[in-house]
Each structure stands twice: as structure tokens, then as C-alpha cells.
Amino acid sequence: MTDLPDTAADLPEIETPPTGTEEYFGAAFPTARRYAEHLATTGIEWGLIGPREVDRLWTRHILNCAVVAEFIGENDVVGDVGSGAGLPGIPIALLRPEAKIVLIEPMERRVEWLTMVVQDLGLSNVRIVRARVEELVDEEMFTVVTARAVKAMTTLIEWTREVISPSGRILALKGASVEGELVKAKKLVKRYRLSQPEIHVVDADGLLEVPSRVVEIVKK
């Protein structure tokens, strides 16, 4: 079912997680490591990530996304938009097992991979929905929507505003050019009565040399 290599010797040389990663994930670290193995093997075979990502799986992908969990509460229902390889949804699920995580992905092959991996990792707090988030109006409601490398902020706001509950939030992982995206999104923020965006710069308790940027926007 998992299609992973039979022995550790058969695995590609995955980036060594930074010192302190085990403490950061706590009891979920063995599962996080299993997830990294999936990304490095089945993830590449199925076209979820590129082969050049293996030597930076932890810093560029898993830990980079895990920081979003710092803003997630135990009662949150999180919709991970365009989940792809489960980023950031799966790292959030590992760190916040009491929260409910919905991986939203329209592409069938990616959904099949996510289903395989979620079952293998035993993530009982994760549900997978094959759809585009804008198709889920009147079907789903989230207290938080997350996204990584999914369109510009203007598009993300338009796509998700009707599936976010009152006082719900967008938590978007963005790069260094995010300020420019937010300038373009000003009119939409005002039109839909959203809070002024706040950019959180987080480094996973010092584990990331290049911090992640998490944009938070609250629906009033």
C-alpha cells in the first residue's frame, strides 16, 4: 500500500533534519520522518515534488510549513487549499492532532497519493476532499484556510472568503515578494471587510536559517 523501499539502505539520501527537529515535533517526530521518506520516494515517483528537493526536504518543505501550526488552535477546522503533497496540511496535522485538517486538492493523482500517505501515517484528524476550494461553498466551512504557493493573495482571498467562518482566518505561506501582493489586495481586503494583513516571520524555534513568512488575514 505504501510503496516505500523495503530497507533504509534503499532510501535516497534525505536532508538531515536540523538539530532540535525531534524536540520540535515531539511524539510526532517518527511520523514526520516517515512523511519525509514518502516525499523522497513516492512523492518524486508520483510527480508531487522534484528530485532536487530531497536534500532540502526538512528545511524548505516540512519545517517551512510546520510553522503554520503555531497559529492553529485545538478547535480549528483547517482547509489546506491546493494541498498537493500535503504541504502545509500534513505538518500541521502532525503538530496539532486535536485540530481537524481537510486537504483540498483537485487533481486525482495527487488525491490518490495523499490518501495513500495519510493512511500510512495513521492521521485520523485528516480528511481529503477532491475539489477546488471555490466549489465547496455551502458544503464546507473552515475556521482557518491555509495555502502554500497557491496563486496571488488577491486570488486566494476571492477563492476562500465564502468558506471561512466569521472570525476565521487565512494563513498563507508566502515568499519575500509578499508585500507587493498585499498592495494589490488592498481593495479586496476593504471590500470584504477583512482585517489588515499581518506578516509573521517565524523560524521554527530557530531551526530555519531562512524564516517562513505567514500572512494572516482575519474575516471580521
DSSP secondary structure string, 101-123? EEEE---HHHHHHHHHHHHHHT-
- In this prediction, residue 7 has a pLDDT band, given cuts at 50, 70 and 90, of very low
Predicted confidence at residue 9, as pLDDT, reads 46
Q: Which residue has the higher pLDDT, 4 or 123?
A: 123
What is the Cα–Cα distance from 180 to 168, expressed in whole angstroms? 24
Which residues have a Cβ under 8 Å from the Cβ of 167 and sit 6 or more positions away? 143, 218, 219, 220
Q: What percent of the chain has pLDDT over 90?
A: 91
Q: Is 50:129 a contact under the CB 8 Å cutoff?
A: no
What is the Cα–Cα distance from 159 to 156, expressed in whole angstroms? 5
Q: Is 103:128 a contact under the CB 8 Å cutoff?
A: yes
Mean local confidence (pLDDT), 159-167 = 97
Neighbours of 169 (CB within 10 A): 23
Grid cell locating 217: 488575514
Predicted confidence at residue 5, as pLDDT, reads 55
Mean local confidence (pLDDT), 106-120 = 98
What is the Cα–Cα distance from 123 to 18, expressed in whole angstroms? 24
The backbone torsions φ and ψ at residue 104, rounded to the nearest 5 degrees and listed phi first, read: -105, 115
Model confidence, pTM: 0.94
Predicted confidence at residue 2, as pLDDT, reads 57
Packed helices 108-121 and 29-40: angle between N→C axes, nearest 10 degrees: 150
Residue 6 pLDDT > 60: no
Residue 68 pLDDT > 90: yes
